[in-house]
Amino acid sequence: MRLTFWLFAASLLSLAMASVGAERIDPAMGTVDPCDGTSWYDGRLLLLEGKGWEDTESYYDRLPARAKDKVRAPVWDLSQHSAGMCLRFQTDATSVRVRWTLRRENLAMPHMPATGVSGIDLYARADNGRWTFVQNGRPTSRSNEASFRVPPSAECMLYLPLYNGVESIQIGVDKDKGISRPAAPAAPNKPIVFYGTSITQGGCASRPGMASTAIVRRELDVPVVNLGFSGNGRMEPEMADLLAELDPAVYVLDCLWNMRPAEVSERVAPFVRTLRTARPDTPILLVEDSSVRNTTPTEKGTILRRIHEELTAEGMANLHFLSNRDMLGTDGDGTVDGCHPNDVGMIRQAAVFTKSLAAILGVPLR
């Protein structure tokens, strides 16, 4: 009787996965551990979200391999961090194991914990369609393993480290359980592309799922490509050319923290024009630098507002501006150091971004 029940349940799961176009991964593509019967599947078999280019030097890099000789060395090094990427999969298992090998020995920073720098985060989609936190995987060395309990028939999303690179990831389930790759939507769901600083990259969230860009992704249920480069989001021409290769739902440019006032005056307009030439109809959102003192506008924000007004007066359509107002709150509790948001600041910042982007994209707030 029990076998009949489980066979019936498995058939229902298969039908559910087929109804959304999920592609069940051939068990032969997994490697069975003879000691405990776990089937391990390479993360490259799953759906990787948040990657802007396919032609990368390493699978979990954020810039294409050809960018190595075009961008400054610090930008290239930071592009090897997996910030914003997540693996999506479905499984009939109630527990999964994850093994991940990091590229760098440094697991943490003085103002950001290892769970955010080098850890992983598992989320599952609830019955109401919203993504809910399951558990964090805590790194202890370059090679790590974590176990997670997941809801039955779960659709899962595994966030990758924010400030470390990933050499490999494996997902393990019992050998009598299956794992499937969610199908891409019939109509391409264009991502939101964020280009910015350490704050965009995720500093200093306590775990990957708490980065403001990740929160925006879950709130709007729209994929996100995170091109935050710590200390190096400077609106250089080579980065404009690279971003122009992408075809996003909207560009979000949030670089002021890494730019001097003179650089804002000199670089923003040419950067925007490069994007507009390549993507005439794509919305572009210019973001004022956030401030723990909630100063509106900041010195650089004043320059950015002027540029926005000038470009708009020239006839550039679909160019938007986002004030820093309410980005970090007024109580001083939104950062770890007066600059980088903690989880409180990330939530506040994400709320401001979500409201603005929902209006630009014409999607309802949930």
According to the model, what pLDDT value does residue 135 have? 97
For 240-366, list the strands marked E by DSSP.
250-254, 284-287, 319-322
Same domain for 308 and 343?
A: yes
- Classify 199 as helix, strand or coil: helix
Domain shared by 231 and 148, yes or no: no
Give the single-character DSSP code of 335.
B
- Mean per-residue pLDDT, 331-337: 91
325: domain CATH number is: 3.40.50.1110
Quote the tokens at residue 46: 């799953």
State the pLDDT at residue 330: 85
| Domain stops at, among 181, 216, 241 | 181
Token couple for 115: 């769970």
Alpha-carbon gap, residue 294 to 286, rounded angstroms: 17
- Distance between CA atoms of residues 85 and 87, nearest Å: 7
- Any domain includes 70: no
- Give the orientation angle of helix 261-278 with respect to helix 237-244, to 10 degrees: 30
Q: Do 248 and 339 fall into the same domain?
A: yes
Residues 155 and 285 in one domain: no
| 256 and 326 inside one domain | yes
Q: Is residue 76 part of a domain?
A: no
**Section 212-239 average pLDDT:** 97
200-221 per-residue burial string, b: 16 or more CB within 10 A, e: under 16: bbbbbbbbbbbbbbbbbbbbbe
Residue 313 pLDDT exceeds 70 = yes
What whole-number distance in Å separates Cα of residue 179 and Cα of residue 176?
10
Q: What is the pLDDT of residues 107-142, one digit of tens each?
A: 999 999 999 999 999 999 998 999 999 999 999 999
Pair (241, 313) in one structural domain? yes
Residue whose entry in the numeric block shows the structure tokens 């009598």: 176
Task: Say how far apart CA 170 and CA 15 lie, in whole Å.
Answer: 26
Residues 239 and 331 in one domain: yes
Cβ pair 65, 183 in contact under 8 A: no
197 is a domain residue: yes
Nearest to 199 by CA among 313, 104, 46, 336: 336
Q: Give me the pLDDT at residue 290, please.
A: 81
Q: Which two tokens stand for residue 91?
A: 């499984």
Residue 186 lies inside a defined structural domain of this protein: no
Domain identity same for 38 and 160: yes
Same domain assignment for residues 177 and 198: no
- Average pLDDT (56-70) is 98
Output the pLDDT for position 352: 96
Say whether both 346 and 222 belong to one domain: yes
Return all residues near 317 (Cβ < 8 A) that are at least 6 apart.
none
Q: Are residues 250 and 158 in the same domain?
A: no
**Is the domain of 267 the same as that of 220?**
yes
Q: 318-333: per-residue pLDDT in tens?
A: 999 999 988 998 888 9
Domain count, the chain: 2
- Domain membership of residue 235 (yes or no) is yes
User: What range defines the domain where residue 94 resides?
Assistant: 21-50+85-181
- The Cα–Cα gap between 230 and 188 comes to 30
Of 131, 154, 181, the one marking the end of a domain is 181
**Domain CATH code at residue 160:** 2.60.120.260
